[in-house]
Structure 1
């Protein structure tokens, strides 16, 4: 499904459509645009600058301006932080820059919970490629005859179901 999920909210809007857990289609909201383009978006007057279908709901709830910035991890947008206001012309480029700096701090927190190898995308902190290419090379060389074919290839390619070491008797 091509939607964004609202995961946190602050403010007093008792019967708001924008409640935690609501799904917003990427194409129908400014958050989707910010996520897709990896760029901030400022609406000083939502009524005059109306562009997305979800902005009708924003206006209906009495919100007239907003600023949205993407959360970017390793060049990929993973979410959006948005501030909304009941006042028109509440946000400027300076506010967007500040919000982006705050979003960057959120990204640092997210990255600390999800460690990864900085050299290889889509790997965990303990990357088999990096281990085999540095200190692991000595171990790999010393026990090469005991390694499975997958291990001899440095952990690259498809691993056999049995996997692991082929012999448990080490010299």
Structure 2
């Protein structure tokens, strides 16, 4: 079944949102590299790659359903941060925006009785629950251990994130 024009537009918007997330997370990784936090950088690079994978899933699905992929220009991402907590709060805010966007697309698919699109989007609904939980856990630990003020905790956290898969 061919995509409706409205759903095609929204899936393309989400594809571009995923690419923007990858771009932003890459900038965050570069910031961490610049300030010498290799573990944080490795972890954020992993998330940038994950966002590119998400974008590819949307790209492939749009084409599978006979739609036209539309890539938009990306704005320059924020690349300077005052604190570690600021980086993760920004990332969490972005993940919440992605969740809201996916839920909106899901609602559109449901209103169009596009069961295939609903099925495709189910994976992303679950993924976003996991992403928000992950970022929330990290933010909780950053606050609990006052990582921005505690160099020993910062070192340990950098080591921990560097080992994360």
Normalising by structure 1, we get a TM-score of: 0.25
Instruction: Judging by fraction of residues, say which structure has more strand.
Output: 1
CA radius of gyration, larger in = 1
Higher relative contact order (CA 8 A, sep 6+): 2
Q: Counting helix residues as a fraction of each chain, which structure ranks higher? A: 2
